[in-house]
Structure 1
Amino acid sequence: MEVHFHGAAGDVTGSMHLIEAAGKRILLDCGMVQGSPEADARNFAPFPFDASQIDALILSHAHIDHVGRVPRLTLAGFDGPIFTQRATADLLPIMLLDSASLQENEAERSNRKRKPGQPKAVPLYTRDDVRDALSQLHPLDYATRTQILEGVEIAFRDAGHILGSAIVELWADGRKLVFSGDLGMPNAPILRDPTPVADADLLLMESTYGNRNHKQRSETVLELSEILEAAWRDHGNVLIPAFAVGRTQELLYWFARHWNDWDMSRWKIFLDSPMASKVVQVYDHHHELFDAEAREIWRGTPNPFRLPNLRVTQTAEESMSINRIHGGAIIIAGNGMASGGRILHHMRQCLPKRQTRMVFVGYQAEGTLGRRLVDGAQWVRIHGHDVRVNAHRHTVGGLSAHADQQGLLDWYAGFRPSPPLALVHGEDLAREALAGEIHERFGVQATLARPGMTLEV
């Protein structure tokens, strides 16, 4: 068995790893590169392998940095089965159709501004391309060992990252490969904890927060309540960039759980994302994947997805009307790294105001607008306009959907014996720190995967 690294090998986005085993070629993830100025060019670049020779694709979960180039893969000639967990299969049409719509709209805008002689802009893929790719889906349940190709078997285990997120176990050639996908935090709300795995001949493990630990969730929830109270006292709005899957649902969960003690009924709460409203419906259909506490909350009043003061905006006009509200609004909008989407319109209006609270609840990749704000930028450029940043900025790391350093170490400790591993899905500072801790505690020298690198299992 051989593993060839092609994406999220030295950075956080663009997850893509090719496995050659049992005479077959299996791709783990096919994610979009996000954040960097070169991201668009990298997404349009030809794949570093012949897509028509890939026998199967396995997707760990529905975030775009893990699935965003799937239609591009099918356009390049891949016509094999796509295996993923059942809830992920329900989320994929929402995520990919939205991605295609953004691609089509961006190409249309570029072509309207195109000068004579400039090449015509084309989308990375279209909604029709997405529908073609989705016809190749084969949903699987957790904990079901399945032969996907002759000589190749897989099983999905709950990764606790987002709904349907999976740790992938793969058996072939008498060897076992484990791919962590993205691991969630233990004791996080709504979802179950990441499933321990006992053995592997090689582990591919994410390392997004390999160099830091999150605050205790109780401290984080207290911090969130204090931010909301300060914003109310200052008559300001609260802006929260959040991806449609994961943080959005957790925020609504906390609002429902603390409905009375946070006096949440006084706020106007906007979920400014048509995609997020569709995602909510998928969560509603998969209560079997919730932890016990979340199932109890969902049976209570108010239901997190049906808060009496929650308004889900659909049209662009509804979204723009929010900007007429100058205080007392909580606005959750995509995307989570503030590199596109409706949050930009609200940021342009609200960032210059000192009473605004800008709350980051997830990872901000290098090169994104969110990262620049977290790093303290005083001016940012939004839709061609220079915007002064006077708003208060808060990074609420304890709401991250990713395991922190201790969470990663604890999950790795569940293997007996400690397997060799390659660290993926992390910037170098994070990977180096995690590799050092693993070597000190377990005596294992981790490999820092690089694009083009090959490991033999």
Structure 2
Amino acid sequence: MTLRLTFHGAAGCVTGFCARLETDRAQVLIDCGLFQGSKTLKALNYEPFPFDPRKIDAVVLTHAHIDHSGLLPKLVKAGYEGPIHATAATRDLCAVMLADAGGIQESEVRQLNRRNERRGRDPVEPIYTAEDAEPTLALFRKVKLNDPVEIAPGITAVYWEAGHILGGASIELRVETEAGTKVLLFSGDIGPGGRDYAADPEGPAGVDWLVVESTYGDRERDMITPQDRRQRLAEVLNEAHAAGGPLLIPAFAVERSQELLADILTLMRDGLVPEADIFLDSPLAIEATEIFRQRGWVRSTGRNPFEDLHSSDHLKFVRDPWESDTLEKLSGWHIILAASGMCDAGRVRKHLKRLLWTRKATVLLAGYQAIGTLGRFLSEGAERVRIQGDDIQVRARIRTLDVYSGHADARGLVSWVQARGPVRAEVFLAHGEPPALSGLQDRLAAAGTPADRMLIPAIDQSFDLAGGRARAAGEGARRIAPEAPAQLDWHNARAALLIDLDRRLERLDDAARMALLRRLARKVDEA
């Protein structure tokens, strides 16, 4: 009997989730996400899949975020022709997100190839294009929460509310085997619960194997009300206004942008912050906002908190690139929300290049920042950063606000795992960096989960489940070293060295500069 689970992404890191379940009768993918972070990690997006896409029978998709859905068009280009099961809201969001991701890749590859041509390097191709998203969307099959659906021979899926983003779900897979029905539950991304913008996470109890995300597994947040959340946002807005310049928010286009807009408009309406023009500079976020207006009804509150987002005179939608370029002519107090939330792609990088060096500007980071991303460097206090080959001095105020996180903290994750018990076999900890993984492991152990029942997989690591307990399978080909996803790579080290070198050279006279460069050149030759 074959029952094997392989982790192809978000193992030892927080992006690129993709797991593959194999039985004697079928192969199923759980998510197919894009890697984000260091260039070494993102390079995996360009490599062939470590499995044959033509042999996959079905894909089940937890939610629309690109680090869970972003390689679906590549999968289809590589020959996958089966169904992609997702909630209706997830399908609607993917309709705009996947095309947008392809368009961003096309745009950034064009810019890169212009630089490569000047440097005498070979051109590169995008992973996929906006046009490639169309045949992918044709494969989507809508599922309803709590309704069992057979997705492949001998495998039934049940989707449960995850409370993360619109349409997000945890997925229960019931697998018929010679030893009876085995149940695996994949958490997807678990929401914090208690939010006025999303439902509380749910799920079944009594599963055989549980795969749980660990993004915030090592930290606990203050338990706050929606009023507390808006008060903390108001403090940032009032401080930014007092500084005399704009507020730039690198925001995730789906969920985070809509929640921030709703709260900012509420604060302005109530007179708690100065009024301002708010520019939503993201075609994807604009389209997603319309989906939220149509589907954002929250069961617990009985209302849709996003339905009024089109009615404010303060909110301006910036669709075309030329409109985005005109924002640089603005001065004084205004607010710009632009993707991406980790500052590693999209229009926000252009705004950061022109605003980071000015003391009047404020940058608000309102989401998780993966290791190796520009957002992570800014959140950790970098004095200089490198954006598209240019060194930028950071003089703007950098503020962080994690009260808008769509992820449960350590306390919430432990509570969610306990509610899924008893877990008859193992708990797999995924979708987290090493400190978060070990932090959640320690907390679960303290809450009663045996240490030998918790496993932390590496990318491309397989586990045989047929014996009733997970057993690491024979080592197959690994695309990346187990420790690599959570480390800064040589690209990061090179950028840091060049920034430091420029800083040191600025402090010297010409003779000392030449002497330093000669010594450095000798060291390079010796190496």
In which range does the TM-score fall when normalised by the shorter chain?
Answer: over 0.9
* Alignment match, 2:25: 23
* Alignment match, 2:198: 191
* Alignment match, 2:255: 246
C-alpha distance in 2 between matches for 1:298 and 1:364: 25
Equivalent residue runs for 1:86-105 within 5 Å: 86-105=88-107
1:270 is paired with a residue of what secondary structure?
strand
Q: TM-score, normalised by structure 1?
A: 0.95
C-alpha distance in 1 between matches for 2:166 and 2:395: 36
Deviations 1:400-439 (A, max 9, x none): 1111101101111212324521001000110001001101
* Alignment match, 1:415: 420
Distance 1:345 1:109, change over 3 A: closer
Structure whose CA Rg is larger? 2
Number of residue pairs matched? 453
C-alpha distance in 2 between matches for 1:4 and 1:373: 34
Greater shift, 423-432 or 227-236, is seen at 227-236
Give how far 1:93 is off.
1.6
Asked if the contact 2:62–2:170 (Cα under 8 Å) also holds between the matched residues in 1, the reply is yes
Give unmatched runs, 5+ long, in structure 2: 466-527
Asked if the contact 1:190–1:294 (Cα under 8 Å) also holds between the matched residues in 2, the reply is no
Whether 1:376 aligns to 2:378 is no
Give how far 1:357 is off.
1.6
C-alpha distance in 1 between matches for 2:59 and 2:447: 34
Greater shift, 69-78 or 216-225, is seen at 216-225
Asked if the contact 2:230–2:267 (Cα under 8 Å) also holds between the matched residues in 1, the reply is no
Q: Which of 109, 122, 129 is residue 132 of structure 2 equivalent to? A: 129
C-alpha distance in 1 between matches for 2:150 and 2:304: 36
Whether 1:178 aligns to 2:185 is yes
Q: Which of 1, 7, 15 is residue 13 of structure 1 equivalent to? A: 15
Greater shift, 397-406 or 409-418, is seen at 409-418
Q: Report the AA paired with residue 95 of structure 2.
A: P
* Alignment match, 1:159: 162
Distance 1:39 1:316, change over 3 A: same
Asked if the contact 2:339–2:348 (Cα under 8 Å) also holds between the matched residues in 1, the reply is yes
Give how far 1:262 is off.
4.3
Give how far 1:296 is off.
5.9
* Alignment match, 1:450: 458
Q: Which of 157, 169, 172 is residue 169 of structure 1 equivalent to? A: 172
C-alpha distance in 2 between matches for 1:428 and 1:276: 31
Greater shift, 113-122 or 314-323, is seen at 113-122
C-alpha distance in 2 between matches for 1:215 and 1:3: 36
Q: Report the AA paired with residue 25 of structure 2.
A: G
Asked if the contact 2:185–2:209 (Cα under 8 Å) also holds between the matched residues in 1, the reply is yes
Distance 1:264 1:306, change over 3 A: farther
1:308 is paired with a residue of what secondary structure?
coil
Q: Which of 287, 294, 298 is residue 285 of structure 1 equivalent to? A: 294
* Alignment match, 2:370: 365
C-alpha distance in 1 between matches for 2:119 and 2:263: 53
Counting aligned pairs with the same residue, the percent is 36
Distance 1:294 1:120, change over 3 A: farther
Deviations 1:83-105 (A, max 9, x none): 11110001112111011111112
Q: TM-score, normalised by structure 2?
A: 0.83
Distance 1:262 1:357, change over 3 A: farther
* Alignment match, 1:58: 60
Give how far 1:442 is off.
1.7
* Alignment match, 1:149: 152
C-alpha distance in 2 between matches for 1:136 and 1:241: 32
Distance 1:117 1:256, change over 3 A: closer
* Alignment match, 2:476: none
C-alpha distance in 1 between matches for 2:98 and 2:211: 25
1:84 is paired with a residue of what secondary structure?
strand
Q: Which of 310, 313, 318 is residue 308 of structure 1 equivalent to? A: 313
CA RMSD of aligned residues (A): 1.8
Distance 1:297 1:18, change over 3 A: closer
* Alignment match, 2:224: 217
Give how far 1:375 is off.
0.6
1:442 is paired with a residue of what secondary structure?
coil
